[in-house]
Structure 1
Amino acid sequence: MTRKKKKRNIKKIILQIVAGLFLLFASLFICAMLLFLYYAYKAPKFDEAALRDQLPTKIYDKDDNLVTELQMGQKRERVKFKEVPDQLKNAVLATEDNRFYEHGAIDFKRLTGAVFSNVSSGFGSQGASTITQQVVKRSFLTDKKSLERKAQEAYLSYRLEQEYSKDEIFEMYLNKIYYSDGIYGVKTAARYYFNKDLNQLTLAETAYLAGLPQVPNTYNIYDNPEAAEKRKDTVLYLMNRHGRITKAEMEEAQNQDLSTNLVQRTAAQRQNLEQNDPKYASYINVIKQEIRNNKEFEGKDLQDILTSGLSIYTNMDNNAQTSLQNNTDNMNIYKNKYQQAASSIVDTKTGALIAISGGRNYKDVVDRNLATDIHPVGSTIKPFLSYGPVIENEQWSTGHRIQDEAEYDIHGIKFRNYDKQSHGLVTMRDAIRRSLNIPALKTFQAVQQEAGNDAPAKFAKNVGLNYKSSDLGPSDALGGSSSEFSPLQMASAYASFGNGGTYNEAHAIRKVVTQDNETINFEYNSRKAMEDYTAYMVTDMLKGTFEPYGTAYGSQIPGLNLAAKTGTGTYGDETYIKYNLPENAAKDVWIVGYSPRYTMSVWMGFTQMAQYGENSFVGPVEQSLPKELFRQVMSEISPIDGADFEMPDSVERSGGFLQVKGNPDNNITTSIKPNSNNETVRDDSRAVSNNRYKVIRSQPTTEEPATTERKTIEKPTTEAKTVEKPTTERATTEPTTTQPATTQPTTTQPATTQPASTQPATTQSPSSNSTRP
């Protein structure tokens, strides 16, 4: 009886233990499931967009030729499943997931072996990820090894296999895998390492590429050739073990040296894959700006946009872009690392951006684009604030005469020409081609008095030159104060003159085509900015810039009709004093010119002052360098066909000058009273003062020709005696090296008045009232 009772007790205990274990395992299972569900709930959203590979953006020129690609840090070329050779499929499957087509999202047989290994050797010692899991990890997750990440990986893998076929998942894998050196995708890797298509790879090369992604940097053949060879041999062994190649094929491939067909690359080449086409960097910078401003891409990250496989069709002229950047980089004129040049070229008729250089050796992201940055524009503003508005509103003829003066006082502020001389009565055409300051100021005042104080600002706004205030002062009219614009803006503005008065905003992109063949069009501003007679008459006057005594004389191109305006800008007075700079030193130098085909702007200057001011100014000879760059590039890109600007019916010639048809202009402007609105002359705060006097320098204060054309503006304070900053005087005779010695230009100025020199001759001692205190 006792023995039977004991047996029943033992059975009861066993049943209790079994039940306890069952409950324990059930509880653990339930806890595990709850934890799995919790982790799955926290998993990233199953977003199909995340499964798409980061594809490069392709850039096409105006002729729809592919010129470059934007990899955005990931060099990748996509391959479709049907293009993958069987040899590559076998190599990848044997290495990564031999039973891929037999199991589901998770290979439980392989997982079991990995679990025992992890228990004995520690978590993470052996992985069992399937190809599906690897796609999920690269699309949604990180490489962090944790239970949470593994649970999320399993959940998302099941989701992936519900949505896509095995072949589609295999294709995703081949395009997502990293192959070191910034290379993604097996097709890109084949070209990068061996310069071959996938179907041209040898078995040894295929095996290497199949094994490289496991530890890409360790197996990189450039850094570790021995490790690369061993990895190749391992993959070949696995292919033979799983019956995907014969032993003879394995041994033959193992004896092949991978370096036989390897593309030789230097360390620098491997690190700068994104800089293969530096000549396009400035243009690409503008493309990015236009992408950001397009409403179709509003709120999207630029990195995501440019890695979505876009095709961007631009207005770039490949030859012009190459010419411009090469000439900018290779000019032997730079004094120090702060001296720079920037330029823009647009189509005169359409405003299409043909070429752009943001600076010498420009690198996108690293450098500021100096062609889209603003700079003081100097006298290049005169056609927009003085001469254009007066023709538009008052219909002055190009022969309208203006009384020039050696010194012009506007309520205590004294303005002068670059040579401090009076040139008597000068025609408007002569005044602009020689860039005289006083006639420009008087014309500016005449426009404000007759057409309204805001008339100059309105005219400038119509061509894309927007001022914060429409109440402009004399220093604005000479390129100082708030007259600061970019080379790109100036090119578009001047193109309006060459285009019969129609303004077209500069634009790089014609259209964008997405990976799904959706076309996104880009809009830009286009409007009538002025009357056609204004555009043509200003153009005719600016053609004189290339004539004798013009500020760009010597830069003309035979067979090419050009119109242009030059400009010069200076530092503030405090900088001249602090660094003891010479009077003829300039900070900014410009030329903006156009033909019936192209409009080109060139700015040269300094991004900052070097220590002690060393070599941080442009001297007299160097101030002609923008004109040299303009001439060189325009000569290389322009058709020399003699095409000229077409005179509209609204214009007629009279006595060698142009006038609005039916509106003869015989007036002579001898004096203009300052407008009451100009009582306060803004000087951009570029002033220096002491207890004896105050000198105010309008920015810029001089203008052409080859030397600094900078006027000194003085304003007496408590002292009755006027003291001005000394300048370098100019000889009144023309140097024979750049100008005709005896031929005088046709003007209405008195016979005794000589035209200003375009080169410095001798330096005169400043007079007593020109000494520095």
Structure 2
Amino acid sequence: MAENKSRAELKQAKKKTKKKAGSTKSLFKKVIIAFLILGIIGMLVGGITFFALVKDAPPIDEALLKDPVSSKLLDKDGNKFAEIGVEKRTHVQYQEIPKLMENAILAVEDIRFYDHYGVDLRRLVGAVIANFQEGFGAEGASTLTQQVVKLSFLTPDKTVERKVQEQWLAIQLEQKYTKEQIFEMYANKIYLSSIPSYGQVYGVASAAEAYYGKKLNELEIHEAAMIAGMPQSPNRYNPFDHPEDAEKRRNIVITLMAKHGFITEAEAEAAKAVPVASTLVQTQKDPQPYDAFIDQVLKEVIELGDIDVSTAGLEIHTTLDPAAQTYVEQALNTNDIIEYPNEEFQAGVALINTQTGEIQAIGGGRNSTVARGFNYATAINRQPGSTIKPVIDYGPAIEHLQWSTYHQIVDEPYTYSEGQPIKNHDNKFKGQMSIRQALADSRNIPALKTFQEVGSERAGEFASTLGIRVGDVFESHSIGGFNGVSPLELAGAFSAFGNQGIYNKPHAVTKVVFMDGSEVVLKPKPVTAMKESTAFMVTDIMRSVVTSGTGRSANISGLPVVGKTGTTNFPADVKKKYNIKNGGVNDIWFAGYTPLYTAAIWTGYDTPEKGYILSPDEKAIAKQLFKEIIQKVSEGKETGEFVKPNSVVQVAVEKGSNPPKLPSEFTPDDLIVKEYFIKGTEPKEVSEKYRKLDVPSELIAAYDEETNQVTLRWKYPDDQREGILFDVQYSVDEGPFELLETVGELGLIVQNPIPEAIYRFRVIAYREADPENRSDPADIEIQIPALSLEDELDLIPGEDDEEVEPDPEESEENEGETGDGNGNDGSGGNGNGGSGNNGNN
């Protein structure tokens, strides 16, 4: 029975197993069907999405592939002033491109170029792996065909739509043209940066000429690799500007050439050993008008991405003011406006709109003989000297510490935190002063003290927000002891003070319109860099620089001009090496602004070998340039005024009070200054330093019969005597008071008073520096006794008395005066009173 049951159970188990197996097969079939359905749906959705993305792709235009379309540059009013791309190019046919050059390009850009159909799926995966294994940039994801499409038809924006369109057009391009034709297009289209001596470089043949002065077939391995590696980031890998980055990139290309068998390992090592700059040359082309401004335009457009400006057919809207640019170039390149000392003297000028940051004109340098040569307005990296003090010292102090324009600081012997002495430009110390005076006189010690109170972190942040590259901030930054600043950067920083604290990055391009009608707006977004109160108060302090400080010669009558001077000195070892005379300096700056325009000027020499600034006339050129340019561009324009915000109050302060105090009614007028305070921080306490003067005390009048004179004496507190004078007045027989004499002593002798007259004497104290602040009077009365007969007879002239001849030069007004025989003045001609001599007490 048990055995039968076991068999039954076994049969039942087998039935269940079969049923389970059938169920599993059914589930698997359902999963497969589901995946097939999802796949079909995915393909349909993908196809629909793909065609939706490519439906707006531009057509393949043969003219755009073969003939470059120049880009037009428009000024601020929409008028064309330049065209980029109309110059002759060095075009090469495919058969003229040496295999070395072709192999270098293929190794780094598209090793499977001759194997794919425009889009290389294997290369997409390979690029990711290569970037991990050999470093970022070893291989790109786009094929050469895709790059030709991107350079010819598409905008640089990196979107999924554009990437899909790029791949779609690349497939079409491969169907229409041979591989050799496409390679030829690429080799002639690529942008390869620009160099001052040549201009913009397009295509491998032009690059061979511009960088090495060679024909394409004369290039060596390291040179071909250098050119092949540049298209990924042309400006970053420019060997003139960034030799270290360029050499790293070149060596990556050489490594890839060896990896793919185009050169041997030995050839690769030999090529890597050649310094990147060893065979570079400088060739020249003729310069064109406005080249310094165009140079800035191209920099800004290139930042958009991989754009070949000379072939992209762009419409570039710029901020150029042609009249201002012309005047700036005239001011730099002739002696009609400024008298320059020699041909080597250089200058850089940046003129921008204070309210918008739009670059109106750029003076890139003097006497340039090359197309878009070195730009002294945008490319220099010089120490800014004292022009940086508003940016890194006083601006942050007002912003973060709520200092007033009156804030007191002591100019005294001082050292940096590490103990090194700091000096002022005149090697003198002026004691306690306001930050207004400290900046106007460009005192270094108050600047360092201000920086120390602000702190390096806040000072650095404040400067960085204004576009100044400061890096790690040290105490030497407080007086401009750091590299580096360009006139354009400095102008941008200063303009924020004149624009209520709003910083607009200086820019030359407002928008770029592409051939397909799309456009990119390039106006930078405004940044609130500081409070309105800070901007206004720093501005007002800098007004003193041009009205009473170191920048007086930059002041312009009728315009609200402010600014700051700056000077940098040579290190001691440089002075010794080049035998630089005392007073010789390295750089002279001036930066300033009105509500409408901001300009920053640098002047100096390239190197000490070429010269240095020494004479007063040379030192004044930066200020003269600023004055002439701002005056010219402001003609006929409504400049406006700097508007005080409600957060700022102007308060009269007693000069020298610390902390600040309000003047009293007795404070001398010349010791009252008006300064600005952030509302709520203004002084409330009234100064008592110049209170109403005390009345002279213990006034006595004593008559001496023997000498017939009255002696007046009084007292005054010793601690208040400094600078005090006393008016002594008299009245005879109740007549009006008249001034007898003004003395600085505490007494007076009145000689020969009128007998029997009643004299009233009055003594009033006042401060010599402030005659209006007078004490109440101290009065005393005395009656002069009658003279005896003997005394009266002594007054009658006798025959023994010697006559005194009158002085023929004495004026008629003094005819009534006589002497007393002792060299003292006698009584007045009308007999109403006598003058006296100072007492000796």
Is the 2:578–2:608 contact (alpha carbons within 8 Å) kept by the matching residues of 1?
no
- The 3-state SS of whatever aligns with 2:631 is helix
Is the 1:57–1:71 contact (alpha carbons within 8 Å) kept by the matching residues of 2?
yes
- The 3-state SS of whatever aligns with 1:375 is coil
Is the 2:354–2:496 contact (alpha carbons within 8 Å) kept by the matching residues of 1?
yes
Shift in alpha-carbon separation, 1:339–1:273, aligned structure 2, 3 A: closer
2:354 maps to 348
1:377 maps to 384
Write 1 or 2 for the structure with the bigger share of strand: 2
Amino acid at match of 2:471: K
- The 3-state SS of whatever aligns with 1:636 is helix
- 1:157-236 equivalences in 2 (<5 Å): none
- Kindly indicate whether residue 676 of structure 2 is the aligned counterpart of residue 658 of structure 1: yes
Amino acid at match of 1:55: V
- The Cα shift of 1:500 comes to 0.3
1:515 maps to 515
1:719 maps to none
- The Cα shift of 1:55 comes to 2.7
2:400 maps to 393
Is the 2:345–2:605 contact (alpha carbons within 8 Å) kept by the matching residues of 1?
yes
1:307 maps to 311
- The Cα shift of 1:67 comes to 1.6
Distance 1:358 1:462 in 2: 25
1:447 to 446, 454, 459: 454
Is the 1:389–1:447 contact (alpha carbons within 8 Å) kept by the matching residues of 2?
yes
Is the 2:340–2:618 contact (alpha carbons within 8 Å) kept by the matching residues of 1?
no
Shift in alpha-carbon separation, 1:366–1:527, aligned structure 2, 3 A: closer
1:368 maps to 374
1:418 maps to 425
Amino acid at match of 1:564: G
1:562-590 Cα offsets, whole Å, 9 max, x none, are: 11011001222111011221121111110
Distance 2:684 2:572 in 1: 41
Unaligned stretches of 5+ residues in structure 1: 1-45, 76-138, 140-155, 161-270, 668-773
- The Cα shift of 1:552 comes to 1.0
Q: Over the residues paired in the alignment, what is the CA RMSD in angstroms? A: 2.9
- Kindly indicate whether residue 500 of structure 2 is the aligned counterpart of residue 462 of structure 1: no
- 1:617-636 equivalences in 2 (<5 Å): 617-636=613-632
- The Cα shift of 1:292 comes to 1.3
Distance 1:456 1:509 in 2: 30
1:271-307 Cα offsets, whole Å, 9 max, x none, are: 99974x42x101100011001111xxx234xxx3222
2:559 maps to 560
- The 3-state SS of whatever aligns with 1:507 is coil
- 1:52-451 equivalences in 2 (<5 Å): 52-74=66-88, 275=287, 277-278=288-289, 280-294=290-304, 298-300=305-307, 304-331=308-335, 333-362=339-368, 365=371, 367-373=373-379, 374-408=381-415, 410-448=417-455
Is the 2:559–2:639 contact (alpha carbons within 8 Å) kept by the matching residues of 1?
yes
1:455-504 Cα offsets, whole Å, 9 max, x none, are: 100110111113222xx222111011x34211110000000000000110
Distance 2:370 2:600 in 1: 20
Is the 1:338–1:606 contact (alpha carbons within 8 Å) kept by the matching residues of 2?
yes
Distance 1:333 1:534 in 2: 38
Distance 1:456 1:416 in 2: 21
Amino acid at match of 2:619: Q
1:676-727 Cα offsets, whole Å, 9 max, x none, are: xxxxxxxxxxxxxxxxxxxxxxxxxxxxxxxxxxxxxxxxxxxxxxxxxxxx
Shift in alpha-carbon separation, 1:305–1:641, aligned structure 2, 3 A: closer
Distance 2:578 2:483 in 1: 25
1:61-117 Cα offsets, whole Å, 9 max, x none, are: 111111222235239xxxxxxxxxxxxxxxxxxxxxxxxxxxxxxxxxxxxxxxxxx
1:645 to 642, 646, 651: 642
Distance 2:558 2:496 in 1: 22
Distance 1:366 1:344 in 2: 16
- The 3-state SS of whatever aligns with 1:516 is coil
Instruction: Give the percent of matched residue pairs that are identical in Structure 1 and Structure 2.
Output: 35
Distance 1:583 1:336 in 2: 20
- The 3-state SS of whatever aligns with 1:484 is coil
Amino acid at match of 1:636: K
1:575 maps to 574
Distance 1:389 1:399 in 2: 15
Distance 1:286 1:518 in 2: 22
Distance 1:473 1:608 in 2: 26
Distance 2:684 2:388 in 1: 26
Distance 2:530 2:513 in 1: 35
1:599 maps to 598
1:570-627 Cα offsets, whole Å, 9 max, x none, are: 22211101122112111111000000000000000111232xxx63334333111100
Is the 2:350–2:362 contact (alpha carbons within 8 Å) kept by the matching residues of 1?
yes
1:504 maps to 504
Amino acid at match of 2:560: N
- The 3-state SS of whatever aligns with 1:343 is strand
- The 3-state SS of whatever aligns with 2:350 is strand
Shift in alpha-carbon separation, 1:512–1:402, aligned structure 2, 3 A: same
Is the 1:441–1:474 contact (alpha carbons within 8 Å) kept by the matching residues of 2?
yes
- The 3-state SS of whatever aligns with 1:524 is coil
1:479 maps to 480
- Kindly indicate whether residue 491 of structure 2 is the aligned counterpart of residue 491 of structure 1: yes
Shift in alpha-carbon separation, 1:594–1:666, aligned structure 2, 3 A: farther
Shift in alpha-carbon separation, 1:497–1:159, aligned structure 2, 3 A: closer
Please give the TM-score of this superposition, normalised by the length of structure 2.
0.47
1:540 maps to 540
Shift in alpha-carbon separation, 1:370–1:525, aligned structure 2, 3 A: farther
2:62 to 39, 48, 57: 48
- The 3-state SS of whatever aligns with 1:626 is helix
Amino acid at match of 1:415: I
- The Cα shift of 1:405 comes to 1.2
Higher relative contact order (CA 8 A, sep 6+): 1
Is the 2:357–2:505 contact (alpha carbons within 8 Å) kept by the matching residues of 1?
yes
Distance 1:459 1:509 in 2: 26
Is the 1:62–1:313 contact (alpha carbons within 8 Å) kept by the matching residues of 2?
yes
2:278 maps to none
- The 3-state SS of whatever aligns with 1:74 is coil
Please give the TM-score of this superposition, normalised by the length of structure 1.
0.51
Shift in alpha-carbon separation, 1:525–1:586, aligned structure 2, 3 A: farther
- The Cα shift of 1:340 comes to 0.8
The structure having more radius of gyration, on CA atoms, is 2
Amino acid at match of 1:428: I
Amino acid at match of 1:424: G
Shift in alpha-carbon separation, 1:494–1:439, aligned structure 2, 3 A: same
Amino acid at match of 1:430: Q
Is the 2:285–2:370 contact (alpha carbons within 8 Å) kept by the matching residues of 1?
no
Shift in alpha-carbon separation, 1:554–1:608, aligned structure 2, 3 A: closer
Distance 1:356 1:293 in 2: 19
Distance 2:415 2:284 in 1: 57
2:612 to 606, 609, 616: 616
Unaligned stretches of 5+ residues in structure 2: 1-59, 90-151, 153-172, 178-282, 653-673, 686-841
1:386-421 Cα offsets, whole Å, 9 max, x none, are: 100110011111011111114546432001111111
- The Cα shift of 1:52 comes to 4.8
Distance 2:542 2:647 in 1: 19
- The Cα shift of 1:664 comes to 2.1
